[in-house]
Each structure stands twice: as structure tokens, then as C-alpha cells.
Structure 1
Amino acid sequence: MQKIVIFGKGGIGKSTVTVNLAVTYAQKGLRVLVVGCDPKHDTTVALTGGRLIATVVAAAGFRDGRVEISDVVVRGRLGIDCVEAGGPEPGVGCAGRGISRMAEILEAKRVIDPSRYDVVLFDVLGDVVCGGFAAPLRQGFAEKVVIVTSEESMSLYAANNICRAVRTYLSNGISLLGLVANLRGGADEDAEVVRRFAALAGTRVLADLTRNARLFREAERRSMTVCELFPASVAARRFRALAEQLILLDPAQASVPAPLSDEEFFELSRVDFTAARGAFSSAAAVASPAPAPTPIQAVSAWAAPRVEENEIDLRAEADDPVLDVRSGAGQWGDRERWRLFFADREFERNRESGVRFSGPILWLQHGDIECRYSTPSFDEGLVSFLNLPCVPAYGELVRAKGSGDYGSTNLCEADVIGGGLEALDAALRGAEERGGEMIVINATCVPLLIGDDWRMLMERAKKRSKLEFLYNSPASGQPLNMAKALFDRLRRDPAFSSVAPAARSVNLLGFPPGKGTEELRSLLTAAGVEVNLALLPFFDYEAARHFRRGGLQVLYPAAERRDLYASLLEGEPSRAISPPAPYGLEGTRRWLRVVCEAAGADAGRADAAFEDARRDAAVDWEDARARAAGRRLAFV
């Protein structure tokens, strides 16, 4: 079985070459399949009487992978079978993935098989805009590659890029047989331009197909081929000679293409490729050496517990390299090894996912549902790789614990090819019907790659709904600081600003929930300090309405949250301190004294509260010591 791929720049005549070759082979009694790999899906119209056939991506079972071959393989004239990949509407989706998926379906259904066909011809858009258009090369369908080009520079530039693609996939058993010169002008000097380029690129010209505009227009008008309508014409004879040549050529004997660099191509094209390679050289740009990274210094030791030493200027410290830590790399030993271990770049995009929100919010993920489960998040200080609950179907919303309602568009492969806007629109309308005050769209990589115009849908939704819409897309460099967005929303409420700070009242920011934080609350209460609220890693929207009742902000010294602290507290009239974390007995005692002094409480009362708690804990400690006596403990 002969498997031949015809590449070429859009509009260069590759479809014309493909169908005339198909007719030539069919007239010789060979069984022929033509596979159109152009989103316009018009390769085979000259074989079907001008009728556009049903495409693979539009087939009824395409979404769930149950395409019936009888629905997409159409018998044309002379017994030639025709398949068209098709593609999305212009401007949306990913046509390249549609071509790849079609190739996978044809392979799974064993359509391209010697028992069915003698010759299979692929007509592929050859601008090589993405890997999808190289699917016949990537997936081993091609054996022989032919590039259709003209003498024009942009057509030859596309041919040069296709030569690169062929080199990339040589290991798949493909060979570039050569170029077909479909000349616009027909002059001998035009043909020589193509020949000189072919020689420089390490290939050859297989045929010159000077266009007879009258013959080709008449064939196009009647939805037929030149080989059928004008079999005695020069063009038909050249098609027949090319068809025979392609059958006889041994791909093992074909030379490996040596495509030009972009710089070489444009320099040589200015002299019609008359110069030798290397005749032109451009001075390489000398890149300025990158500045050496600023080493992260060790955090200074704890100083004497005076209140003024714990006051912080969050804006000034935002650029402090000590505080600009984004992951767990700040451990003992080699920092770079820790960076590799903690996958810094991956976690950096999601470092604010550790904040959990509750309130009148609808969360809508625009992407494939697997992305939600595989994206690492930080749950109560620990890395979490499982994000539940499961969302049953796209557009539906479920109640997520502590986070309002949650839904997903759950994009599948059909949405990647055809665009995900329909799924997003359906999910947005479902979310609007659910109610609430705010809808947050979290976009993943998929809608970014397929070019979904989410802004258009959001603007439409804003016009028909009173809800507020926010967009978050860390993958595209458009991350949303959700805590700041909610806080700014609260600030716009006059009732928020009317709350006066209470005496000896504090807010705890960034303290992880659990027994330790509850003990700190108890100690502060016993020392005469009120804990107004704890904010972060949980953000309770309703509780945050009373934020300004706390006249002192006590920050947990988590370096990865410094930027978040700064964004929340910018413009707030209250003071903020960040003493070292209360680890151990002495660390807790110092922390308690600093907070109490800063809040205006009596330091002696703080010491008394601590001693009372220590005595109570000592009983449990001694009991634990007695039970652990004589045992060995190993940490792994």
C-alpha cells in the first residue's frame, strides 16, 4: 500500500494535485482513499460532484469516540473513497487536534489497511502552524511526502518549514520525495528559482505543473478534475507522469532534507537562491550576561521582645529576598535541591490555592475536570493532590465544603477541537440561576490554548445579570488575588468603614486551623486580649465584615503569604506585627508577651496566663513521658 502525503501552503494547489493523482490511480484500477486534512473540508469536492461530505469532527459519535466509519467514508467517482477531517468554526477551537483525532480514529478502525486500499493520499495544510497538522507524519501514516510549492517566496518559505517537520519525524519511516512546482507564471526562470531552492534544501523537483488557468477553472466549475475533463492536455499528462513516479520512487533512496534557517532563507530569497549556503552571515547578537541571582540570606535570630521591633512595613518588605520565598525551598541544606524537590514553578502558580473561601460565591472552573484534581494545592499547610468533591457533569454545580457552590465546564476533546465557549455559556447560565452575589471563573490551560474568548461571554453575562463576575487564569499570567478582590468589595460597603476598633482586640492572619491556634486564642483571652477573628487560610466573607473591630493585625510569619498580607492590609489604618511563630514553650511565651504588649494588655497578666496553661499541660506531659519510657522512636 502506497501512503502519500501532499503538503503545501494554503491556496497553493495541493488539493488540486491530490484529487488529480487520485483519479489517475483509480483509472489504473487501484483502490484509492483520499483523506482531507484541511479544516475547510473541501479537498474532495471535485470527487463528489461538488458536494461537501460529512466530516469526522462533526460526526454524531465524535464527542464520545464512537464514530461509525460508514458515516464518514464516502464513495466518490471512480470508486474513490473520501474522508474529510473538518474543523471548528473559524476563530475558535483547535483544528490541529481535530486532524490528530481523526487520524487516531482511522487507525483504531483499521481503515488505512492494505486489505482495503492500494493508495492512500493525505491532503494536508502545510503552513505547519501546529503539531496537529503533522499528524500523518507523527502517527506513522505517511511513507512518502510531497510538497507543492510555487516560485513565490512565502510558498517556498512554507516548503522550507515542512522540510523541518519531515526531519523531525524521520524516525517514523517517512521520506521527502521532493517538490512539485505549481508555477503561477510558467516562465523558465520561475522553475529555476524552485530548482535552486530545492538543491539548497537537499531535495529535488519532481514535476513542473504550469497552470493553464482556463482548463483548471473549467474543471473547478464542473466539480471535476483536469485528468477527467481534459485527458489529452499537457497538465493531465504531467499528472500521470507524476503519479507513476511517486509509485516507483523508493523512499529509502530519498535524501534527507537540509532546510535553511530563517536567516539563510530570507537572505538567499533576495537573490533568487543563486548564492551558496553560508554566503551570508549575520552577526550574532551578544546577550548581556544575566545578573547574578540575589542569594537568600538566613533569617536573623529572634531579638529582644520589644513591640517596636515587631512592627512591620509590609510595603517595604515586599521586595525583601528573605521574605520572597514561594515554596518549601527555605529548608536546611542546598536550596536548589529543595527547589527541585518542591517543584517551585508548579507550586508558584497555585500558592494562593491554600486560601479557602466561604460566602455568596459561585466557583466555575473552565477546563477539563481532571485539571482540578491534578493541580497541587495547599490544604491547611499541607500539599494536597486530591481536590474533591467530584463534579458529575459539565454545567452542573455542587456544594463544595466551605467554598460556596462549585462547578466545571468539564471540557472534553470535542470542545478542544470545536471551542469551549458553548460549554462555558451553559455553565454560566446555570450558575446565574443558582443565585449568589459573585461568580468566579477559573480558567485552566485548555481554554487558553484553544483561544476561547471568555471576555465576550463575561460581558454578555454582566449585561443580563446583576451578579459580579471575576476571572482567574494563572496559566495565562492573569492570576486573581481572590482574597484582595473580596476585601476590596467589603471596603466599598459603607458599613465596613463604620466599624470602630475595639480595645485590646486583635485579628489573627495566616494561623493554620487546629489545636495550636485554639490554644493561642485561649491564652490571649486569659491575658485579656480579644481575638476578633482569624482570617486566612480560611476567608469567611461574612465574618470579615467586622475586620476593623480588630485594632491590631497579628501575622503568622509565613514567607509565601507576605504578598497576600501586603495586598490585604494596604491602606488599612490598623497596625500589624509579625513576631516569630510560637514554637515550643519559650517561643509561645515570647509570642504571647509581644502580642499582649502591642494590643495594650498587661504583660504580667500574659505571663500569668501562660504559667496557668503550662501547669495544666505539664500533667499531660508527665503522663506522656511515663507511657513513652522504655520505648524507642524512629523518624523516617
Structure 2
Amino acid sequence: MTSVLVLGVCSLKGGVGKTSVTLGLASAALERGLRTLVIDLDPQGDSTMALGARPEHGDVADVLADANERTIAAATVLSSWADDGLDVLAGSERSAVHDRLQSTDVDRLRFALPWIRGYDLVLIDCPPSLGSLTRTGLTACDRAIVVTEPGLFAVMAVGRAMRTIDELRREAAPSLQPLGIVVNRVRARSVEQAFRLEELGNLYGPLILQPFVPERAALQQAQGAAQPVHAWPGAAAAELAKTFDGLLDRALRAPRR
């Protein structure tokens, strides 16, 4: 895994667009010509579906059960977004069994990384919960993005996610660092959101990543059609593409393995 950035995307509250941010970063990486692997740790498998990956011989549950070159190759599928350059380590509802394992098992994905070769970027889409799967994903990462939206409960969940990252740094993953907080689904004229954005800024300062991701239907439309947002027509999609380009730039400045 020499010179590869392993970036985890997490949130401890569902529905804030964690997978959408993962897919936006994958779209930006594909547009830039970076060979990218998306590891879908979420048992819902939304990244796998949106990336048009159709696993036939294995999935991430097999890799977590027995990480070796064979299980990883069987679980890795080409995304339909492109003929080459974007692969998916396919998600599966079967991975939920690994969410119930003891915390001492969180090294399982990190031990699999030496068999994952040929990529410039690895994105890990973690489940939206604080269980063993999320800890397993973050333990394998160099950097972690916390996704939120400017709402009360989502802002509260950011604190829990940051404490989890800090806990892992002090125990299982000393090289893990928070890249920052991505604020998703931002509406320009919302008074409530403006209040929450100010609150986030006061709490986390430079950890708030720019640019914010605006709320645009084009993102859901592209994902529903299993297409990268960079290929979706219209001004709204172009605005989103520029946003994810900026976030990818920030991620790529982070130190690599």
C-alpha cells in the first residue's frame, strides 16, 4: 500500500449523506484519473449499488472473515461508471455479523490492506453507527472525514464521531488523523442552518472543510442513475462536481502511506 491515501468516510447519524459524499469523492477521483477503490463497509450496500457493481463470487464479509489475496480478488468488482480505474470491494448485508464482534477484532480490514494493490486512493464507506464495523473501517485509515448536515442532531453526532476517532488514535490506530468535517445539504437561505453552521465553526474551527456541499437534486439523480456526478448534465451537477473536486484536493494533501 505504498503512497496510497486510505480515507474513511463516516457519520454516527444516518441520513446525512455519508454515502453521497463517498460517491462524490469517487467521481472526482475518476475524473482526475486516480485509480480508486471504494470499500463498502455499510451493510446496506448503497455504495455498491450506486456504483453499479455486481458482485458474483464474494463480498466484504468474506474479506473480514478471512483476508487473503483470493477473497479480496473475488470481492472486488469493476464499477459501471467507467471501463477502468474505479473498483468496489462490494458491500453485503452479511457484513452486519462483523458489527457484533468484540473490539479486539478491529484490525481485520487493516490486515487486508497489503493485498490491495494498484490504487492511488482507497475510500472506505463506514456504516452510520458506532459499532465494530465503523471502528474496523477507521482503524484501517490514514485520515477520516466526518459527514454532517446543519441540523441539531447531526451536529451532536459530530462530537461522538470525533471522540471515537480520538479514542482509536490512542489505542488501535495511532496513525489515524481526522481530515475534517464535511457539511452536506447546505441551503443558502436557511436561518436554522446558518445558526448550526456558526455553531459548528465555533466548535471545530479549521476542521470544518470547505467548500460546503450544497443541497441539489442533481446529486440524488446521478446516484439513482448509477452515474458519476461529474458526468451528469446541468449547472447544479457542475456546481457539485466543483465542490467535490475541492474536497478531493484537500484530502490529497494529507500524508500517504
TM-score, structure 2 normalization: 0.79
**Conservation of the 8 A alpha-carbon contact between 1:6 and 1:122:** yes
Q: Report whether the alignment pairs 1:24 with 2:25.
A: no
Aligned to 1:11: 15
* Structure having greater relative contact order (Cα 8 Å, sep ≥ 6): 2
**Conservation of the 8 A alpha-carbon contact between 1:103 and 1:135:** yes
TM-score, structure 1 normalization: 0.34
Q: Report whether the alignment pairs 1:155 with 2:159.
A: no
Structure 2: gaps (5+ residues): none
Instruction: Compute the displacement of 1:148 (Å).
Output: 0.9
Aligned to 2:137: 136
From the superposition, tell whether residues 177 and 89 of structure 1 become closer, same or farther in structure 2 (CA, over 3 Å).
Answer: closer
The 2-side partners of 1:176 and 1:63 are apart by 27
Structure exhibiting the larger radius of gyration computed from Cα positions: 1
Q: Secondary structure at the match of 2:214?
A: coil
Aligned to 1:83: 89
Instruction: Compute the displacement of 1:193 (Å).
Output: 1.5
Q: Secondary structure at the match of 1:208?
A: coil
Aligned to 2:144: 145
Structure with the higher helix share, 1 or 2: 2
Alignment counterpart, residue 44 of structure 2, candidates 24, 36, 40: 40
The 2-side partners of 1:31 and 1:150 are apart by 29
**Conservation of the 8 A alpha-carbon contact between 1:39 and 1:85:** yes
The 2-side partners of 1:170 and 1:20 are apart by 27
What amino acid maps onto 2:39 in structure 1? V
Aligned to 1:169: 168
Aligned to 2:253: 248
Structure 1: gaps (5+ residues): 252-636
What amino acid maps onto 1:13 in structure 2? G
From the superposition, tell whether residues 20 and 104 of structure 1 become closer, same or farther in structure 2 (CA, over 3 Å).
Answer: same
The 2-side partners of 1:96 and 1:84 are apart by 20
From the superposition, tell whether residues 248 and 63 of structure 1 become closer, same or farther in structure 2 (CA, over 3 Å).
Answer: closer
The alignment-based identity, stated in percent, is 22
From the superposition, tell whether residues 2 and 186 of structure 1 become closer, same or farther in structure 2 (CA, over 3 Å).
Answer: same
Alignment counterpart, residue 124 of structure 1, candidates 108, 116, 126: 126
From the superposition, tell whether residues 96 and 202 of structure 1 become closer, same or farther in structure 2 (CA, over 3 Å).
Answer: farther
Alignment counterpart, residue 179 of structure 1, candidates 178, 181, 195: 181
Aligned to 2:240: 235
The 2-side partners of 1:62 and 1:120 are apart by 16
Across the aligned residues of Structure 1 and Structure 2, the Cα RMSD in angstroms comes to: 3.2
The 1-side partners of 2:76 and 2:105 are apart by 15
Matches within 5 A, 1:428-577: none
**Conservation of the 8 A alpha-carbon contact between 1:230 and 1:236:** no
Aligned to 1:304: none
From the superposition, tell whether residues 198 and 155 of structure 1 become closer, same or farther in structure 2 (CA, over 3 Å).
Answer: same
Instruction: Compute the displacement of 1:164 (Å).
Output: 0.4
Instruction: Compute the displacement of 1:210 (Å).
Output: 1.3
Instruction: Compute the displacement of 1:82 (Å).
Output: 0.5
The 1-side partners of 2:87 and 2:104 are apart by 20
**Conservation of the 8 A alpha-carbon contact between 2:41 and 2:60:** no
Q: Secondary structure at the match of 2:51?
A: coil
Alignment counterpart, residue 72 of structure 2, candidates 66, 69, 72: 69
From the superposition, tell whether residues 132 and 125 of structure 1 become closer, same or farther in structure 2 (CA, over 3 Å).
Answer: closer
Aligned to 1:379: none
**Conservation of the 8 A alpha-carbon contact between 1:4 and 1:122:** yes
From the superposition, tell whether residues 177 and 188 of structure 1 become closer, same or farther in structure 2 (CA, over 3 Å).
Answer: farther
Instruction: Compute the displacement of 1:250 (Å).
Output: 5.7
From the superposition, tell whether residues 161 and 105 of structure 1 become closer, same or farther in structure 2 (CA, over 3 Å).
Answer: closer
From the superposition, tell whether residues 223 and 195 of structure 1 become closer, same or farther in structure 2 (CA, over 3 Å).
Answer: same
For residues 496-555 of structure 1, give each alpha carbon's deviation from its aligned partner in whole angstroms, at most 9, with x where no partner exists.
xxxxxxxxxxxxxxxxxxxxxxxxxxxxxxxxxxxxxxxxxxxxxxxxxxxxxxxxxxxx
From the superposition, tell whether residues 241 and 100 of structure 1 become closer, same or farther in structure 2 (CA, over 3 Å).
Answer: farther
Instruction: Compute the displacement of 1:208 (Å).
Output: 1.0
What amino acid maps onto 2:215 in structure 1? R
Instruction: Compute the displacement of 1:37 (Å).
Output: 1.3
What amino acid maps onto 1:197 in structure 2? L
Q: Secondary structure at the match of 1:10?
A: coil
Instruction: Compute the displacement of 1:123 (Å).
Output: 0.9
Matches within 5 A, 1:566-605: none
Aligned to 1:216: 219
Q: Secondary structure at the match of 1:35?
A: strand
Matched pairs, number? 240
**Conservation of the 8 A alpha-carbon contact between 1:147 and 1:159:** yes
**Conservation of the 8 A alpha-carbon contact between 1:227 and 1:239:** no
**Conservation of the 8 A alpha-carbon contact between 1:147 and 1:178:** yes
